[in-house]
Amino acid sequence: MKIVILGSGNVAYHLCKAFSQKNIAVEQIFGRNEKDLSQISSEFQIPYSTTSLADADIYLICVSDDSVAEISKLIKKENCLVAHTSGSLPKEILSGNYRKASFYPLQTFSKEKNLMYSEIPFFIETNQNEDEKTLFDLAEKVSQKVMRSSYEKRKYIHLTAVFACNFVNHLYARAKEISDHEGIPFDYFIPLIKETTEKIEHLDPKLAQTGPAIRNDERVLKLHEELIFNEEHRKIYKTLNESIKKMYEL
């Protein structure tokens, strides 16, 4: 089974790394950024090209959502299996006379960060049972968590991920703005962040909630609001506290 990966960003890099660790051969990595392609090629001994796609049985498109449709047009081979790795696009976005699928890894990817690939969930969507088996077999060589998912379900998976990952990371960035302004090392908050994350491995997040809002501690809530001079910080603080109060009917 010949595999070609299209893209040279974070997802492409980590799929190449995950496949390499499991001795899954990748025929080629293809894209426009020769510098990134060359680095991936050198690290994992995968041939690369910026001009011509190699022949393959499976093409995995690992590019930004805005580029998926256009990149998919480059695949001219008929009756091969083509899958994108997007959480928010239907497989029908792929444009060609081939079998279409989605191969979505649920994780935040950065090239600099090592990942435990066996813990990354993969969500598979295909039109044919044979293609589903092919992609399940491929994903299960890497991960212990592989499941079928329709596009409708995948949209909600992606939405949940935005709340659980992107929004939370943005709050870290806002929190660091406050700590930096006051000369408090942000590193001192890392143990708190780790404990909060580890706690929800054992507790429903709703049961793990702490803080002044769930205690309905108006004195502390008012004190904090008086300390906040950044209008954006104040808006976030008040909005989230109101959301907490509504969830617990306080």
> What per-residue confidence (pLDDT) applies to 250?
72
Average pLDDT for 134-150? 97
| Cα–Cα distance measured from residue 38 to residue 8, given in angstroms and rounded to the nearest whole number | 9
> Residue 73, SS3?
coil
pLDDT at 196: 95
For domain 3-149, give the CATH number.
3.40.50.720
Maximum CA pair distance of the chain? 67
Do residues 124 and 139 touch, judged by C-beta distance below 8 A? yes
CB atoms within 10 A of CB 46: 20
The pair of structure tokens assigned to 67 is 């580029």
Q: What does the DSSP 8-state code read for residue 248?
A: T
Tell whether the model's pLDDT for residue 93 goes beyond 90: yes
Retrieve residue 44's tokens.
């994992």
Rounded average pLDDT over 184-213: 96
For 20-36, write each residue's pLDDT tens digit. 999 999 999 999 999 99
Average pLDDT across the chain, whole number: 96
Tokens 């306080």 label which residue? 250
For the chain, the domains span 3-149, 155-247
- CATH class in words for 155-247: mainly alpha
